[in-house]
Every structure is written in structure tokens, then in C-alpha cells.
Structure 1
Amino acid sequence: MKLPVFECDGGFIMVSWDKFDEGIEWYSKHMGWKCADVILSPLGKKAFFPLPDGGQVTLKSFESKFDHFKQEDGFEGHIRLGFRLADLEANYAYFQKHDIEVSEITELPNGIRTFDFYGFENTRITATEDSRKDGLYPDSRLIGFGYTRIGVTNLDNAIPWYEDIIGMKKKVDQELPYGYSRMDVKLSKYGAEAVKKEYIDDVWLEPIPQGSKVEKSNPSVRTYFYVKPELFRSTHQLLAEKGIETSKTAGEPEKGFAGFHFFDPDGNRLNVWSYPIF
């Protein structure tokens, strides 16, 4: 039996249980997002933030009783769920003014500028510039999802792994000072509708900087991939049969709502979610 093609489906930002309300306030204030709803589900607390330029971020509490939602050591690793911002200089200045730690601004191989900043509970968030949207959302900082970037130790090994396991297709391969491979990834139904074809839907595989720590990660900002409920259990089983380390499932697979995670050969954590599409 073949693995399904994993569909990119946005992501979660994890927050500790005891400080969940503070997290809602922080992201509302500093991102300019408006919270659409807060619920207490069988899997813990969730808050939903529609992004101004399409898509939705879920703020999710850590949960010690589920492997998939445990906080553990919090090593962010080398996988980044990117977010777009319109005016890089203005937002960079805002973070500095409010004592929010930022990295240096760097330039990606396609000329787009990017930097990391460290949000509530020191969560690493990656921002990429989208100057096309300058002036459209003056009250918001992160306006939509951007590139997902995955650091790997060996591109020649990583490309076929992501093609075989995730169903990505190599789109562009350029020789640059540090090299990278740009991969095409399928969007989920809701993801494709929400972003109105303006989502930066490529995934970038890029070399991990020399000397960096390489081990299993547990990032607070998590990229999620969608699989259909009827394929959820078989997908979990097939990954395990291929020798890929997977977590236990969380949720209620029999009702169509469930998740788990697994790791690529470099310890990057890839999250899977399933839910009915109406």
C-alpha cells in the first residue's frame, strides 16, 4: 500500500496550559490579530486567529497526556513554518521597540528578505517579506503564511526522501553559496481556498548551518499536513512499517479528528492532522 500525498494545511503555535490566556493577549497585541473563537476541546485549549491575507493560525495548549502535544525540551530544530509581513523595516522596528528579540535580517536565494523573532514564551517565528501587500493591513504584522523551510544535512538524500514519503516534487534546484532545493507541495482543500492562490506554497530544503545541533526537534511553531480520515490509521501504520519514528495518535480517529507526528532523517518534526471536510 502506498502512502498518500501529504497536503500542506497551515500550522499551530503552541502555548503552555497555564499561560494560554496570556498567549492570546500577546498575539492579539503584537501581531494585530483578532481572535475569532476560543474552545476547550478533548485535546486541550485552542484559539483561532484568521490571518488578514488568508488562512488561519491555531493557538494550541501543550498537553502532557498526549505524546503529540507534550512540551518536552522545546528544541526548535531546523524546520520553519514561515509567515509573511508587508513592511519589513516597520515591523522589525516594532519588535525592537517592544523588546522582542530579533535575529539579523538575511536574504533568501530568491532575493526575499527574512528574519526570526522570538514571541511569547520565547517561541521562534520566521518572517518573510511580501512587499506586494505593503499598506493593505496597517494594523497587522504577520499577514499570512509564507515558505516552509526545512534544514537538512544532505540535500541529495533529503530530496528523494521528501518525494517518496511526503509526495513533494522538486521544482527548482540552484547552485548557490549554500545551495537549496525548492519543492512543490500540495495544499489542502481549505488551505487552497483560504489563500486565494496567493499562498507561497513551496517548501524549501536547505542545508543546516555547519556546527549546528542536529537531533529530534519539538518546535512551538508547527507545520501541519492533512490526510483524509479514512487514510489516517493506514498512514500511521505505513510510516512505522517503513522504519520512520512516529508518535502515538492523539484524538479520536474513529470520529475523523486525530493527529500524530513523525521525524525525517535529520530529526525535523512533521505533523499530521485529519478532520472531515464538509
Structure 2
Amino acid sequence: MTAALEEKLLDLTANIENYVSATSDGLSLYQGHHLDKTYVLTPRAYKVPMRIEAVARTDSSNIRLKYGKGQIIFNWERNHDSLRCGEPSKGGAYNNMNGRIPINEWNHFVWEIEPDFMRVTVNGTERLFLKGKFSNVKGQAGIGSAFRSKVDIKSFRVAGEETDPPPAPLKPLMFEYDETHISVPQGSLETAVQWYSHHLGLEPKLGFGPCSLHPSMKGTLMQFPKGRGSLYLITVSEEPEHFQVNREQADHFHLQLMANDVKVAYDYAKDNGLHTSSLFEERGKVWFHLYDPYGNRLTVTQGKDSDGESAGSGIYGCVMPIVTVSDLERSVEWYTKVLGLKKSGRGSGDGDVLLRGINRHNGANVNILQLVHDPNCSNPTACRPGIRQYFFVERHNLKKAYQRAQKWCPLIAPLEDKSFHFYDPDGNRINVLS
């Protein structure tokens, strides 16, 4: 390594300093006990056109290149073949199946960003080409690891015009949306997987259980074909406070499923003896509630992007969960101030608001929740039903996140076992893990 190259690496700024160390090869990023995203950034920002060039290796998953609001993920923890892209202008998600790189081998990465397109290559082979409007993008460039991957960096170079003055330090990210978890009774996981597979078309992703919130928890990640959404089916062998589930109570949080034809899906449910609500038609929309064998409520809505592949019910995917609230304006303020979510202008309508945030597993800035106004929404008691929303907080931010929740929430559980829960103004439960 040349002296100039070594100096360039040492100029990079770590988001969590004690997770980064200098080695004979360059730098090493690793946190073996936590799931934190560890990365190093250039001290200055760069304008488009610009080019990032790095030589790095991973021992397992997750090498992540960062620039502006975007990132490129290789060896994604859920599927090494899936290249996950957040484009740098707005963080919009674009994915393909060119993400796999060899482990424990040095790889040469190049990310070129021009005003009207971007290109990513690995070892000289193009992995991604994307057209876009990037002329006004400027930001720091970086490289990192995640989900316990060990990433070694031999070189990291950036070519482009630097901005002046330097950007303000990055604010620590608090809450990232993890996944929708559906709890089923102990001993029911296998039959639950069969029910969700047969009637909804979900497929188990073997080897990808849920995060270890508690030693008693087991689960299966279920995915719709062609990346149309996913959820976790989980069960616990005991009921500590954080995982209590009262299956006799109504809930205000439920998952939205997409169907080719809602009325066909409704007829399928009736013909197969599935528990449903009535069929609702209002403001040009048609939907109904479908209940799994354990009382968990799923809302079936009309999809818009089916490619013809679906289960016998015609259900082919899921979209962001719904949270029903009694005062929409108050709830929007609460979710933005407490969880740091942003109101989305696109897709929000009369009586509902879409909220954007960071998806923990791919880093994309996307719509993650839909708040829907219901004037009859009543305050539930503390125990919640089996479908829950989970947010992830990196370990070094956990105490600060808890203090923020305490400030806004009179009802909050103690911080124990790297997790806690609290409630929005309508009693909808927010679960936090680290």
C-alpha cells in the first residue's frame, strides 16, 4: 500500500469508531455481537458527475457502497444474489439479481454517477445500469458492513468536484422499519406455514428466522414470489411481557394483501370456509378482512401490478401495513416526531396518509406505513393482538431512542433484553428491538 493510499483511508470518518480498525491491508469494519450498520465516509461531499472506486472483501454478507441518499448492497443478508440499490437522489429502491460476490476475496467495485445515469461494475463486469436525474445530487461517499459481516477495505478513492463548505455531520438514524411479525400460538408454526402457503401463496424462506428478540422465539420468513412482499410467522415458547398477545381483542394494526380481484378472493375465502368480514365498498375501493386460524386480521385489497402468478385465492403480494387512528393530523405529527417518519405526498388521499421511512434490510427510503382515519377507533388496552410492527434501532442509539419515546409516550415498557415497546395516541403498539 502506498503512503498516499494509506493516508486517504485514514481520512475516512467512521460512524461508530470502535467498530473500525486499521490493519496491514487497510481498514477493517466489524461488529460481531450487534447488527449495527458500520461504515466509513469521506470527510467532504462530492457533486455529480463523480466516481467511487473501492477494493474490498467480505467474510460473509453485506458490502455496502454509499453516496448521497443512496447505497448499493452486495451479498444482501437475505439473498446474496439480490443486488439492492437505493438511488442517490431520493433513495428510491431498484433491485436485480446481480448482487452476489465471492467471499474472502478482493473485489474491485466502481460506481459511476453521471447527470442522467449511473453504472455499477464489479471486477469489470456491469452489475447495474440505471437512468435517472442525478445532476443536483451531492453528498458524502462511503463503504460499510452490516448484519455482522466483516468487511476489509484495501482502497477507497473518489473522483469528483468537492462541495464547499463540508457537509454537517450525519445525524444518527433512530428507527428503521424491520418487518411485520405475525404471532401464532406455541406449537402452531408448521400448520401456520402450511395455511399461509396454501391460501395466500407465500413461500417459506428456509434459514431466515426472525431476529433473536428472545431465546424462546422461533419463526419462519415467508415471501411472496418475485419479491411481492414478506412477513415473519413467529411463535414463542413462553410469554414475557414484551411478547404478550391477547387474541381476543380487536386491533388497529393489520397487514394489507393484494389480490388480482378482491371479489374473487372473497368468494374463494367463503368457499374454503375461511373466516372473513363482509365485503366493503367505499370511495371507489373494495376490500375485506381475512382472519387466519389464530384470529390475526389481514386486509385484502385490490392490487395494481399483478403479473398473473398467484394462489388459488388470487392473492399475490402484500404492501405496507395499515394503522387505524382516530385523529389523523395528531397521529401524523406523533409518528413524524417520535419515529422520525416523513409524510409522503404521493399516494396520500382523503382520510389516509402514507409515511416514509428507512427499511432496515435494504436501507431504502420507502413508504412503510399507512395511517387511516377511523372516527370510531377506540383506545385499546395495553395487550395487543398477534400482528405487530417492529422497528430496529442500532445498539449505540438504543438508549437515546428510549429517551425520545419516554418524552412523547406516557405508557412505555421498561428497557429490557435490548428491546422495549410503547403506544401511539390510539394505543397501537410500537415494538423496538436492537
Please give the range of the TM-score, normalised by the shorter of the 2 chains. Answer: 0.7 to 0.9
Q: Mapping of 1:198-277 within 5 angstroms?
A: 201=367, 203-210=369-376, 212-216=377-381, 218-249=384-415, 251=417, 253=418, 259-274=419-434
Alpha-carbon distance in structure 2 between the residues aligned to 1:73 and 1:28: 22
Whether 1:28 and 2:204 are equivalent positions in the alignment is no
Q: Does the residue aligned with 1:206 lie in a helix, a strand or coil?
A: strand
Instruction: Name the CA shift for 1:46/1:215 in 2 (closer, same or farther; >3 Å).
Output: same
Corresponding position of 2:355: 184
Which residue identity lines up with residue 254 of structure 2 in the other structure? R
Corresponding position of 2:62: none
Higher strand share: 2
Alpha carbons 2:256, 2:321 under 8 Å: kept: yes
Q: Mapping of 1:42-61 within 5 angstroms?
A: 42-54=215-227, 55-61=229-235
Q: Does the residue aligned with 1:89 lie in a helix, a strand or coil?
A: helix
Corresponding position of 2:162: none
Q: Does the residue aligned with 1:122 lie in a helix, a strand or coil?
A: coil
Whether 1:66 and 2:235 are equivalent positions in the alignment is no
Which residue identity lines up with residue 30 of structure 1 in the other structure? H
Alpha carbons 1:84, 1:127 under 8 Å: kept: yes
Alpha carbons 1:86, 1:141 under 8 Å: kept: yes
Corresponding position of 2:264: 90
Alpha carbons 2:201, 2:311 under 8 Å: kept: no
Alpha-carbon distance in structure 2 between the residues aligned to 1:85 and 1:68: 33
Alpha carbons 1:150, 1:205 under 8 Å: kept: yes
- Shift in Å, 1:23: 1.8
Alpha carbons 2:174, 2:397 under 8 Å: kept: no
Alpha carbons 1:74, 1:220 under 8 Å: kept: no
Which residue identity lines up with residue 231 of structure 2 in the other structure? V
Corresponding position of 2:114: none
Which residue identity lines up with residue 191 of structure 2 in the other structure? E
Q: Report % sequence identity.
A: 25
Q: Does the residue aligned with 1:24 lie in a helix, a strand or coil?
A: helix
Q: Which runs of 5+ in 2 are unaligned?
A: 1-170
Alpha-carbon distance in structure 2 between the residues aligned to 1:126 and 1:232: 32
- Shift in Å, 1:115: 1.7
Q: Does the residue aligned with 2:275 lie in a helix, a strand or coil?
A: coil
Of the structure 1 ranges 118-127 and 228-237, higher mean CA displacement relative to structure 2 is found in 228-237
Alpha-carbon distance in structure 1 between the residues aligned to 2:288 and 2:263: 11
Of the structure 1 ranges 121-130 and 167-176, higher mean CA displacement relative to structure 2 is found in 167-176
Alpha-carbon distance in structure 1 between the residues aligned to 2:347 and 2:233: 36
Q: Which runs of 5+ in 1 are unaligned?
A: 254-258
Q: Deviations over 1:195-243 (max 9, x none)?
A: xx9x7x2533232243x54223512111222322321233123312444
- Shift in Å, 1:100: 0.7
Alpha carbons 1:63, 1:70 under 8 Å: kept: no
Aligned residues: 258
Which residue identity lines up with residue 428 of structure 2 in the other structure? N
Q: Does the residue aligned with 2:331 lie in a helix, a strand or coil?
A: helix
Alpha carbons 1:180, 1:206 under 8 Å: kept: yes
Alpha-carbon distance in structure 2 between the residues aligned to 1:142 and 1:218: 26
Q: Does the residue aligned with 1:137 lie in a helix, a strand or coil?
A: coil
Alpha-carbon distance in structure 2 between the residues aligned to 1:220 and 1:191: 25
Give RMSD over aligned pairs.
3.3
Alpha-carbon distance in structure 1 between the residues aligned to 2:239 and 2:277: 34
Instruction: Name the CA shift for 1:29/1:138 in 2 (closer, same or farther; >3 Å).
Output: closer
Alpha-carbon distance in structure 2 between the residues aligned to 1:189 and 1:37: 20
Higher helix share: 1
Alpha-carbon distance in structure 1 between the residues aligned to 2:415 and 2:185: 20
Alpha-carbon distance in structure 2 between the residues aligned to 1:243 and 1:7: 19
Corresponding position of 2:293: 120
Instruction: Name the CA shift for 1:60/1:215 in 2 (closer, same or farther; >3 Å).
Output: same
Alpha carbons 2:264, 2:313 under 8 Å: kept: no
Corresponding position of 2:25: none
Alpha carbons 2:246, 2:384 under 8 Å: kept: yes
Alpha-carbon distance in structure 2 between the residues aligned to 1:136 and 1:235: 41
TM-score by length of 2: 0.52
Q: Deviations over 1:178-206 (max 9, x none)?
A: x524133113142567xxx9x7x253323
Instruction: Name the CA shift for 1:233/1:31 in 2 (closer, same or farther; >3 Å).
Output: same
Aligned partner (choices 279, 283, 286) of residue 105 of structure 1: 279
Instruction: Name the CA shift for 1:152/1:249 in 2 (closer, same or farther; >3 Å).
Output: same
Aligned partner (choices 143, 161, 177) of residue 8 of structure 1: 177
Alpha carbons 1:77, 1:214 under 8 Å: kept: no
Instruction: Name the CA shift for 1:25/1:63 in 2 (closer, same or farther; >3 Å).
Output: same
Alpha-carbon distance in structure 1 between the residues aligned to 2:409 and 2:430: 15
